[in-house]
A and B are shown apart, each in its own frame.
Chain A
Amino acid sequence: MKRSLATLSSSLSLRRSSSARFYSLTASLALVMPLLAALMAGFLYPVARLVALSFSGGTLSHYRRIFAEPLHLDVLFSTIEVAFVVTVASLLLGFPVAYLMARLSKGLAMVVAACVFIPLWTSVLIRSYAWVVLLQRNGVINKLLIDTGATEGPLKLIYTQGAVILAMTHVLMPFMILPIYSALRALPPDYVRAARNLGAGPIRAFVAVTLPLSLPGVFAGSVMCFVLALGFYITPALVGGPGSMLMATLIGQQTTVLLDWPFAAALSTVLLAVTLLFVLLFRRTLSLSKGLNSVY
């Protein structure tokens, strides 16, 4: 009896130590097969076709066009710049919100969390539409500025780079706040208390203890924001103008207005390469599913 229990427990712990991978290879393959079929039909094959189209004619002529014309390179760099600015703005605005959410009592933290989750659950399309309405020539913000006497006439707010950055920051902020929040929540309050006991002031304790320990969340959120911002289409298409072209809006213009599909495919391939480059660069710090887990 004693021996059989011992073998049972050792066999259990053995299986547990192999992190409970107890479906056979055939069963596991059968389980992932439908997903692989869907990814093949709706993701891998179409993207491969797109990349192949960008090399059509057997030459690099479409790529040469991208890199020969300064306009296209400008769009690429300004996309990276906008993504960077949006990420920094989300971090600066989002960190205090995440910090407050982690520190408040449960009821108040729920109120703050609702302010973060409600926009996240509102479709990007609707939020971009709301920004169009807010920033219009005779929109809410212009009216407010004129009524308070801050400006004489309406300002040009919409269809500018600033409008794109503002609206994109709004859309992406929850992706920054939630990973930072989960990092701060995982931080035992004893650490800060210990630092305070040892004589650190509140600022010193924050800089020496809280901030470094929240960095995994900051990195996860930043990379998420940055990567999502690189490929944003809806928001810049609706609130941006011709002067604030990004890679995604340039691709949209090539396909819908100019109908130059091979060139659009080359632009898409460049954007894809840039996105994957950043994902791979930050894979170690990112732990993508960790960043996403706290959002969904």
Chain B
Amino acid sequence: MDIFASPTIRAYSRAAGIIAAGAGIGCILFFLLLPTLIVLPMSLSETDYIEFPPQGLTLKWYSAYFNDPDWMAATWFSLKIALATTATATVTGTMAALGIVRGSLPFRSTLQALALGPMIVPHIILGVALYLAFAPLRLTGSFFGFLVAHTVLAVPYVIITVTASLQRFDPTLELAALNCGANRLQAFFLVVLPNIVPGVAAAAVFAFLASFDEATVAFFISDIGGKTIGRKMFEDIDFNLTPVIAAVSTVLVATSLLLMGTVHLLNARKPHS
């Protein structure tokens, strides 16, 4: 009666189960990759509207992107802000991570929760709040306004990454340096920093991408004069859906993948110990 007792049938049903599970997971992985993969072919289509599969093969949407003053202005504005944000977020975040992990502060966990706050609080709320705070100070659409906003948004990534590297680094090495006569700054720059530098570099990449990809807050604190690429894309997807967006997206995806590939290599190469 029990057909599953037969060894052949059991082996077959086991194989069928593995194939079904593999196919299911394959579908999930395809679902994960599909939206990223689709932007490249669409950016090469000759038609003026979004077409899939793409008709013909052309690079005209890339030249349209690179020759459009609006897109270029938004790209440069975003790049400037992202680079400045990388510097401020990496420095303030690394300092704070040191203070939180190695310092003797009261309310350490409160401080840490506060530093991660901008990641948890919905970005739409931060966008509205920052607009309300910045508009009277004429900081909307300004470099400085974006720098403050994006630094706050990028700092949690830096704190998480640097805290993790600090926890992996043996603090007795720093004590040894101090015992051997180094002062705090020497001990930091000669012993601590070289050991956590892969983490700090990864943190810098995260900070750059957090700023460069950010669109919700940028939606609120941009204005006609100062607009980031995220804000410009958001507008165009809503009102003006052309293959230029696919070209811009492809450039951005390639940049992100390149930067994150670098992080991966940095993490794979263990610091000498």
Q: CA separation between A32 and B243, bound complex, in Å?
A: 46
Contact A15 B128 (CB under 8 A): no
Q: Can you report 28 residue pairs joining A to B where beta carbons are below 8 Å apart?
A: A12-B172, A20-B102, A21-B102, A22-B104, A25-B103, A28-B103, A31-B95, A35-B93, A35-B96, A96-B25, A116-B32, A119-B32, A119-B36, A121-B209, A122-B256, A123-B256, A124-B215, A125-B215, A133-B38, A140-B38, A227-B120, A231-B123, A232-B122, A238-B234, A255-B131, A272-B125, A275-B122, A289-B116
A22-54 vs B, Cβ < 8 Å mask (1 yes, 0 no): 111101111110110011011101110110010
Which residues of B129-159 are within 8 A (CB) of A?
A: 129-134, 148-149, 151-152, 155-157
CB distance from B37 to the nearest CB of A (A): 9
Interface size in chain A (residues, C-beta < 8 A): 84
Known A140-B52, A234-B234, A296-B157: A130·B133 in contact at CB below 8 Å: no
List, in ascending order, chain A residues with CB within 8 A of B116's CB. Answer: 288-289, 292
Known A42-B130, A136-B50: A252·B124 in contact at CB below 8 Å: yes
Q: CA separation between A231 and B163, bound complex, in Å?
A: 26
- Name which of A27, A34, A38, A268 has the most chain B CB atoms within 10 A of its CB: A38
Which residues of B147-199 are within 8 A (CB) of A?
A: 148-149, 151-152, 155-157, 160-161, 163-164, 171-172, 174-175, 184
Q: CA separation between A266 and B252, bound complex, in Å?
A: 36
Interface size in chain B (residues, C-beta < 8 A): 91
Say yes or no: is B245 at the interface (Cβ < 8 Å to chain A).
yes
Contact B28 A134 (CB under 8 A): no
A216-258 vs B, Cβ < 8 Å mask (1 yes, 0 no): 0000000000010011111001100000000010011001000
Q: CA separation between A221 and B116, bound complex, in Å?
A: 16
Say yes or no: is A215 at the interface (Cβ < 8 Å to chain B).
no
Say yes or no: is A118 at the interface (Cβ < 8 Å to chain B).
yes
Say yes or no: is A100 at the interface (Cβ < 8 Å to chain B).
yes
Interface of B is mostly: helix
Contact A118 B33 (CB under 8 A): yes
List, in ascending order, chain A residues with CB within 8 A of B226's CB. Answer: none
Known A125-B233, A134-B34, A296-B206: A47·B125 in contact at CB below 8 Å: yes
Interface residue stretch chosen among B1-9, B57-65, B69-77, B107-115: B107-115
List, in ascending order, chain B residues with CB within 8 A of A296's CB. Answer: 157, 160-161, 206
Say yes or no: is A127 at the interface (Cβ < 8 Å to chain B).
yes
Q: CA separation between A159 and B162, bound complex, in Å?
A: 41
List, in ascending order, chain B residues with CB within 8 A of A22's CB. Answer: 102, 104, 171, 174-175
Number of A-B contacts defined by CB within 8 Å: 264
Chain A residues near B (Cβ < 8 Å): 12, 15-16, 20-25, 27-32, 34-35, 38-39, 41-43, 45-47, 49-50, 53, 93, 96-97, 100, 112, 115-119, 121-134, 136, 139-140, 143, 170, 173-174, 227, 230-234, 237-238, 248, 251-252, 255, 261, 264-265, 268, 271-272, 275, 279, 288-289, 292-293, 296
Say yes or no: is B253 at the interface (Cβ < 8 Å to chain A).
yes
List, in ascending order, chain B residues with CB within 8 A of A131's CB. Answer: 35
Q: CA separation between A121 and B121, bound complex, in Å?
A: 21
Chain B residues near A (Cβ < 8 Å): 21, 24-25, 28-29, 31-36, 38-39, 42, 50, 52, 88, 91-93, 95-96, 98-105, 111-134, 148-149, 151-152, 155-157, 160-161, 163-164, 171-172, 174-175, 184, 206, 209, 213, 215-216, 219-220, 230, 233-234, 237-238, 241, 245-246, 249, 252-253, 256-257, 260
Contact B33 A123 (CB under 8 A): no
CB distance from B147 to the nearest CB of A (A): 9
Instruction: Tell me the nearest residue of chain B to A35, going by C-beta.
Output: B96
When the two chains form the complex, which single residue of B121, B175, B253, B256 contacts A272, counting CB atoms closer than 8 Å? Answer: B121
Known A16-B171, A123-B230: A35·B155 in contact at CB below 8 Å: yes
CB distance from A263 to the nearest CB of B (A): 11
Q: CA separation between A208 and B199, bound complex, in Å?
A: 37
CB distance from B138 to the nearest CB of A (A): 15
